[in-house]
Amino acid sequence: MARKSFDKDFKLEAVNMVTIQQRPVTAVAEELGIHENTLYKWINQVSENKEDACPGSGNLSSEEAELRKL
């Protein structure tokens, strides 16, 4: 089975549905067709680092990109 990839806007909107709209993670995950753990991971990424959160498939955060350059 192929892995789904989601862009940054999709991820941030999903996180906002939980954090701003205060909807249950289970309901949002089911509505969007994603696993609850995936949504929890995105929520943690946003809470830890808003700027580089959820970079998307194949993209690196600015910190990871700098480390790779070195």
Written as six digits, the tokens of 19 are: 């954090």
Inter-residue contact 32 to 14 (CB < 8 Å): yes
State pTM to two decimals: 0.71
Q: CA–CA separation, 36 vs 69, rounded Å? A: 34
Surface-to-core class of residue 36, CB atoms within 10 Å of its CB (0-12 exposed, 13-18 middle, 19+ buried)? middle
Domain range annotation of the chain: 1-50
- Series of mean pLDDT values for 10-residue runs along the chain (70 residues): 81 95 97 96 88 60 64
Surface-to-core class of residue 6, CB atoms within 10 Å of its CB (0-12 exposed, 13-18 middle, 19+ buried)? middle
Select 1-50's CATH number: 1.10.760, 1.10.10, 3.40.1620, 1.10.3300.
1.10.10
Residue 41 confidence (pLDDT): 93
Residue 59 confidence (pLDDT): 54
